[in-house]
A and B are shown apart, each in its own frame.
Chain A
Amino acid sequence: MEWETVIGLEVHTQLSTHSKIFSGSSTNFGAEPNTQASLVDLGMPGSLPVLNKRAVELAIRFGLAINAKIAPKSVFARKNYFYPDLPKGYQISQLDLPVVAQGHLDIELDNSETKRIGITRAHLEEDAGKSLHEDFHGQSGIDLNRAGTPLLEIVSEPDMRSAKEAVAYLKKLHTLVRYLGISDGNMQEGSFRCDANVSVRKKGEPFGTRAEIKNLNSFRFIEKAINHEVERQITLIESGKKVVQETRLYDPDKDETRSMRGKEDANDYRYFPDPDLLPVDITSADIERALAELPELPEAKKQRFIRELGLSANDVESLTASREVADYFEAVQQQLGDAKLAANWVTGGLSALLNRQGVEIAQSKVAANTLGELLKRIKDGTISASAAKDVLDALWNEEGSVDQIIEQKGLKQVNDTGAIEAMIDQILEANPSQVAEFRAGKDKLMAFFVGQAMRASKGKFNPATVNEILKQKLEG
């Protein structure tokens, strides 16, 4: 009997608010330690939490995007545990009545089938601070800037059957939260963190005992860590041992998971409703407002690009990979009025340039309207596509406007059919044997003639015109 892997994921995504979930402290990343930790964040006796409206709105927006139920009444609870970066001795979270329940996300599998992954719930909670364990004379240093940062914890059903499916789900979720503008999804800064619940079973049998792997903060690590954990569990069971329910930490340097705490000291969080916070009322008006703020989602965008712009499924996949790319493409497309050309350049030339420079499209030094202008010059025959690549590089280096650069670099294409014809006559005359071969049926030689003409013109002839004239002369 074959082994089957069962995976459920918990994702903590940091919500894009200016201030913390229960205090007016800034949530900016990278500030000096404890300069963004107010009395509420420090857990000072007598301070009281006041819920951030925006955090609730963003949670509702997420719920709508995954077709979930939005709780009309939502309650905050205390999750009690002791750790120095949790000054109150409890984390304010949600247990029985989370803002979002029972949604789903569809993922595409390798065989291009679609699989629906259930999302059990998504609840609001506060983040803890950070502990720094090195270099403080045997003590730990505590930075509470992150304490109280709003998180949305998104809990999936145990619906995934391989590390690949888990990664597909995570990538989809990552794209979604950024599309929705509810989180920047920055994994290095910890804005999108994942814990994986992994178990194995023989097909058709009940779920096996699961282990929870923590500390997964890159897609590559997640896949490796899950695969590693699956192997560990199968080896255990096949050698007659048992998987114990425990929390394991993934160590990317050693590519292994190791036990963090076993079941005997498993957390007993003793949740209870937080008496400092009243139930949150979510009215239909709140939901209407969130609906109005809901942007077009990736799936809808894909369908629209295919339907209205006549793009292929392949094109739209990379064009909708992030909202920034999609917005950039649409701006270029609207200016140019040629979706295919815009798509080719956004996913081709521009994307290659961004990769070389190691930046995201949002940091592109060539704005969408500038690329639009450049592509117009291809479309009206002023320059060739290969010359346009040089112009793009020059635009990145801020050497001038599109037309200035074309002028400076002498990249203007020769469209003068008289000049092209004269040059082609020369080439044909100089290569009589190739002409004979071509006429005898060796069609491939067309590329040779085009190449000769382009070289002779230093790439300035309009290749379409060259082709046309060559055809006339050789076939006519």
Chain B
Amino acid sequence: MSISVDEVKKVAGLARLGIPEERLDEYSTKLNSILGMMEQLSAIDTKGVEPLSNPLDSVQRLREDVVTETNQRDKYQTIAPEVEEGLYLVPKVIE
């Protein structure tokens, strides 16, 4: 498996990362070397090994269904760039 310059652009776009045109080759090379290492890993026989979803060998603690949070809107909104009528304002996302 290898990752082309176009794929680097696409993944960067999805992650909203700005990568300068002149460094795309470098990213492609580095990512390919990481993927190469992954391929080495996939050579290992993992039959009968349960996939690990979290490195902590433990299970999720659950919370009782109780409302514990109170309204702190004014405090939270002091660091927001812009608010109006209690809403956070952001650049318009649709036409």
Expressed in whole angstroms, the minimum distance between the Cβ of A241 and any Cβ of chain B is: 26
Cβ of B66 within 8 Å of any chain A Cβ, yes or no, is yes
Expressed in whole angstroms, the minimum distance between the Cβ of B49 and any Cβ of chain A is: 15
Whether the pair A279, B59 counts as a contact (CB closer than 8 A) is: yes
Whether the pair B91, A139 counts as a contact (CB closer than 8 A) is: yes
Segment of A27-35, A302-310, A331-339, A436-444 engaged in the interface with chain B: A27-35
Whether the pair B53, A273 counts as a contact (CB closer than 8 A) is: yes
Expressed in whole angstroms, the minimum distance between the Cβ of A74 and any Cβ of chain B is: 9
Residues of B within 8 A of A56 (CB): 62
Expressed in whole angstroms, the minimum distance between the Cβ of B34 and any Cβ of chain A is: 15
Cβ of A268 within 8 Å of any chain B Cβ, yes or no, is yes
Number of interface residues of A (CB under 8 A): 51
Choose among A18, A142, A268, A273 the residue that contacts B89 (Cβ–Cβ < 8 A): A142
Whether the pair A268, B54 counts as a contact (CB closer than 8 A) is: no
Residues of A within 8 A of B94 (CB): 133, 140
Choose among A39, A55, A280 the residue that contacts B59 (Cβ–Cβ < 8 A): A280
Residues of A within 8 A of B73 (CB): 32, 34-35, 37
Whether the pair B66, A278 counts as a contact (CB closer than 8 A) is: no
Most central of B58, B64, B84, B86 by chain A CB within 10 Å:
B86
* In the complex, chain B residues 43-95 whose Cβ is within 8 Å of any chain A Cβ: 51, 53-54, 56, 58-69, 71-73, 76-77, 82, 84-94
Choose among A26, A131, A139 the residue that contacts B69 (Cβ–Cβ < 8 A): A26
Choose among A83, A142, A281 the residue that contacts B60 (Cβ–Cβ < 8 A): A281
Segment of A4-12, A46-54, A314-322, A461-469 engaged in the interface with chain B: A46-54
Whether the pair A24, B87 counts as a contact (CB closer than 8 A) is: no
Residues of B within 8 A of A139 (CB): 82, 89-92
Expressed in whole angstroms, the minimum distance between the Cβ of A61 and any Cβ of chain B is: 14
Expressed in whole angstroms, the minimum distance between the Cβ of A95 and any Cβ of chain B is: 10
- Do A38 and B69 form a contact, CB below 8 Å, given A82-B16, A133-B94? yes
- Do A133 and B65 form a contact, CB below 8 Å, given A36-B71, A143-B87, A279-B54? no
Whether the pair A54, B71 counts as a contact (CB closer than 8 A) is: no
Cβ of B14 within 8 Å of any chain A Cβ, yes or no, is yes
Q: Give bound CA distance, A144 to B86, whole Å.
A: 10
Choose among B16, B54, B93 the residue that contacts A140 (Cβ–Cβ < 8 A): B93
B residues neighboring A (CB under 8 Å)? 10, 14-16, 51, 53-54, 56, 58-69, 71-73, 76-77, 82, 84-94
A residues neighboring B (CB under 8 Å)? 17-19, 23-26, 32-39, 42, 44, 50-56, 75, 80, 82-84, 96-97, 131-133, 136, 138-144, 268, 270, 273, 275, 277-281
Q: Which 6 A-B pairs have the closest CB atoms?
A: A24-B68, A141-B87, A54-B65, A53-B62, A33-B86, A278-B60
